Every structure is written in structure tokens, then in C-alpha cells.
Amino acid sequence: MTKRLSLLLLALGLAASAARADEFIVIRNAKNQTGSLTRADLREMLTGKLKEWPSGKLAQAVLEAEGAPSLKWLSSSVFGVSEVALLTKIKQEVFKGEMKRPVACAGEDECIAQVKAIPGAVAIVSASSALPPGVARVELR
Amino acid sequence: MKHRLRPLAPLVLTLAFAGAAQADGVTVNAYGDVNYFGSKIDLKLPAGYPEQPPIYSSTFSMSRVTTMLTGSLGRLTLISENTFQVPLFSGSNDFLIDVERFEISYQVHEWLRLKAGRFHSAFGYYNDTYHSGYYYQLQVDRPGFTKFEEDGGLIPARAIGVHADGRFKLGASGALRYDVEVANSRGATVEAIANRQDLLRSKSVNFRLRFEPSFLEGLVVGANYYFGGIPGSAQTTFNPLTHVQATVVVPPMDEKIVGAHLAYVEGNIHFIAEYAHFLHSVRGGGPDYHTNAGFFEAGYSFGEVTPYVLLDAIRMPSVNGAIQDPYFAVAPAGIIGTRLSLGCGVKWQVVDGLALKIEAQRAETDSVQILLLSSQAAVAF
């Protein structure tokens, strides 16, 4: 009985963590042919180390403000740091001249619209967002 | 020499750029810090001199405000960083305007970015990581030899010329980043930056190579090689500690600097170590002067609070406390001379944009022992 209960709890735990991992996705402009990135590549792109997509498009971060669920997910699940620490890091890289200032967006619709408008844009939106033509998902390896 | 009016020129250029940069826009940021320093200085006088009581001082200090404009038009980027500051060794309480950086850069490819203007040289790790935004750095001040020239630093921290850098992925092993700079030579003194006119025809060259291994994301291992000339001049100096005025002849010299750095600033861990060896050779078969300098700082973050320790050392060739290298002897760095400093502190990032720091340092030089307590509120907006 105890063993069954443990297995059930483990299964429920795994399902919950899988749901959390799929909660948000990385999106790109569809003209950008790069369909997948490693998490390390994404971290480098969002902090100015990687300046171009493998396709050659100039990288441009599109981010929501502090407190937005997408930024929380990005900082905790991709970078493993607090939101303040991530924003400070990004601000410092802009200050250094190593990355272009992120384009700010308020709400997922605006983020998606910015990604559609900027060929090298990268943004985070919830997995349930409907992506219009001109915007595609980036698979994280 | 600081410019009092010339910053208007880059400002006008920046505003013109702002007018053109409709697509990406130009943004303005402000950086600054307010400090409180308390110190106790014990003079180490030669035998025979009457003993002097310690010198105590305490002061609030607001000596640096930076405004920074950044703009981009696709692959073209402009940075204009202008600082209002009271240099540590200026002997004045008046603010001077300094065009800290004015960079126009073009990202050709991942492996090639071209830059021209006045920039912070790609020497070591600290110099082009923290710039003049003290909010980002762990310590209250920049470490010894990486301080800006007028504040007692040794490296050519600013350069006027051209720069190229790029990054290559090395498969699964990591990435390699290079920086190459060709810039004006040193000025007649360390703190005299050759903004408008190089006193020498030859130019200085700086190479930096970095390896970023993939087995530990964030680790940076790098090395520098710099060579350039130093123009000859005669300089009158005044040491505020010993009240000695002297005229020093600085002969034309060749300068070579070799440096190495190791940095890991990732997650909760903060570790930076740098070393540099300066060789000044008097032209025409004169003597060589060797100066060694290094520092490390290490911290660990508990949430937004980061306690840290630091060690800072500079060794200059000296006889009875007198610096032998004439170029460094007349520099602000020469007033302090050979030194060893140990310290500890805490940085608390209160919110995004505000950091508070407290720090204690004990430094020993050829002529003084200094106990320095510092506190700082640094902002970045």
C-alpha cells in the first residue's frame, strides 16, 4: 500500500514538473531559420555573449517587465537566478556595450507582435499562446 | 587633462544619431554613488624624523556621476558615457567633465565587431566589465592597478583608436574570444590621455585572448599583451603625504604589459583574479623598470547580500621608498607606490538599481599604513 502510494506521488510529481517545464516557450521571427537552441545558447543570447542566431540574424531580446510570469520563468528555469539578478546582469551587459537593449513589451500579445516585427527577436511567452503566421517556436535542446 | 566643453561635441553627435535612430531609439541612463569614508593614516618616517601622530579623516564623498546614452540602428551601435567627477589626486573639490567613452561599433558577424572612438581598453577583466558604474562591481572602488589613471591606476584604462573583437565556438569544448586594439600612445603622464593629439607617431597595440570553457559556464580565462611608447617629458610633482616637491625627467621609454586574468561571476559565486607585469625600458640602452601588480576579490551571494574579501598588491622598483620608474613616480600611482592591501566587505543589492556596500581595508605602503572604512550607496537607472 505504502509502495503504491509512493509511486503515485512520484508520478504526480513528475507530471507536475513536466507541466512547469512546458509552461513557457521561446519564440522567434519565422524569417529566422534557426529552429532550435540549447539552453546555454539562450542564456548567452539574452546576456550578450552570443550576438547572432546561428542563421546570422542579429539577436534582439524582447522581454516583459519585472514581475511578469514569463520573466520569472526565464530567470528561475533558464538562468537559475532571481529576477533582480537577471535584470541587473542584462542591464550591465547593455552598459558594457555587449548587447542591444532589450525591447520592452507589456503582455504576450505585444511580445508576439514585436517578435513578428524584428527579424532577430527572441521572446518568452506562455505555451498556450496562439502564434500568428510570421512567429515560430524555438525548440530548447 | 579633462575637457570642460568638448563633451558637447559627442553629445551633439549623439543627439543627431538619436534623431536618425527612429527604429531602435536612444536611451539615457544615469549612474552614481554616494560614499562615506573614514580613515586613519600612520606615517612611516625614516629614522631621525620626529614621530608624527596618526592622521584621522572622515568625509562624505560624492565624486562621480555618469550619464550614458546608448542607441542602435541595426548592427550599428553608439555609446556615449559622460562622467562628472572629482579625481582622487586632483587636489581640488571641483567637478570636471570627462568623456569616459564614446564608441561607435558595428557588428559585422559573430566573429567580428569593429569599434572606433574612445573606449575602455580590453585589458584584463575589470576594466571593460565594470566601467564607471560602481553599482555593478563588488568593491567600493576599483582594485589598485585597474583604477582609472587619475585615481592611481597603472594600466592604460582608456584608449582612443580602433578596436576589433569576436568570438568563435570551439565545438563542445567552449568558446574563444579575441580583442585587438590600436590606439594612441600614453600621454606625457599616466593620467594625461591623448584624446586629440598623440605625442608619438607610433601607436600602442593591445591583444587579449580569452577562453570560455563549456564545462563551467561563466568561467573566463584570459591573457593580454600590450606594447606602446611613452613620450619623454619633465614633470613637477608634489607629494601630499610627504609635502615634497620635485622635478622629474621622464625619458622616452618603451612599455610592454603582460597580463592574465581568471574570473567566475555566475550564480552565487563571484571570483575575479588579475595580474599584470609592466616593463618600462628607457630608449637608447637605459635601464629597465619592472612593476608587478595583482588583485583578487571573492564573494558568495546569500540572496541579495554578498559578503566578500579582497587582496590588492602593487610592487614598484624603489630605493628607500623613492619610486625608480620615472613614469610611474610622477603618476598618482607613484604617490602611493608599492602597496599591499587586505579587506572585506558586504554588498547588498536592495532593489534593481540600488546597492549598498560597507567595506574595511588595511593597506601598507612604503611610506604609510592606512586603515580605511568605506560605505557606499550606488545607483544605476
CA quadruple A100, A106, A107, A112: dihedral, nearest 10: -40
* Per-residue model confidence (pLDDT) at position B12: 47
Buried b / exposed e along B100-127 (16+ C-beta atoms within 10 A) = bbbbbbebeebeebebebbbbbbbbbbb
List CB contacts of A109: < 8 A, sequence separation 6 or more: none
Q: Does B351 touch chain A (CB under 8 A)?
A: yes
CB contacts < 8 A (A, B): 63
C-alpha–C-alpha distance, residues A91 and A86, integer Å: 9
* Per-residue model confidence (pLDDT) at position B189: 86
Beta bridge partners of residue B97, listed in sequence order: B84
The alpha carbon of residue B157 is apart from the nearest alpha carbon of chain A, in Å, by 14
Q: Does A98 touch chain B (CB under 8 A)?
A: no
* Per-residue model confidence (pLDDT) at position B249: 84
| Most confident among A9-23, A83-97, B21-35 (mean pLDDT) | A83-97
* Per-residue model confidence (pLDDT) at position B23: 44
pLDDT per residue over A13-59, tens digit each? 444 444 355 589 999 999 998 889 999 999 999 999 999 999 899 99
CA A22 to chain centre: 11
Query: Going by DSSP bridges, is the β-strand pair A135-140/A36-37 parallel, antiparallel, or unpaired?
Result: parallel
* Per-residue model confidence (pLDDT) at position B289: 92
Mean pLDDT of B263-280: 94
pLDDT per residue over A52-70, tens digit each? 999 899 999 999 988 889 9
Cβ–Cβ of B267/A81 closer than 8 Å?
A: yes
* Per-residue model confidence (pLDDT) at position B15: 46
The alpha carbon of residue B329 is apart from the nearest alpha carbon of chain A, in Å, by 32
* Per-residue model confidence (pLDDT) at position A3: 56
Q: Is the pTM of this model over 0.90?
A: no
Helix (H) or strand (E) holding A58: none
Q: Does A96 touch chain B (CB under 8 A)?
A: yes
Residues from chain B contacting residue A92 (CB–CB below 8 Å) = 133, 136
Mean pLDDT of B213-217: 92
Mean pLDDT of B236-245: 68
* Per-residue model confidence (pLDDT) at position B135: 92
Mean pLDDT of B280-293: 91
Residues from chain B contacting residue A101 (CB–CB below 8 Å) = 24, 27, 70, 72
Whole-complex ipTM: 0.79
* Residue given cell 550614458 in the structure block: B68
C-alpha–C-alpha distance, residues B65 and B32, integer Å: 4
Cβ atoms of B84 and B65 within 8 Å: the answer is yes
Query: Concatenated DSSP letters for B246-283?
Result: EEEEE--EEEEEEEEEEEEEETTEEEEEEEEEEEEEET
Percent of the residues in chain B that have a pLDDT greater than 70, as a whole number = 91
Q: Does B218 touch chain A (CB under 8 A)?
A: no
* Comparison of pLDDT for A3 and B117, the residue scoring more: B117
Cβ–Cβ of A87/B352 closer than 8 Å?
A: yes
- Would you call B77 helix, strand, or coil by DSSP? strand
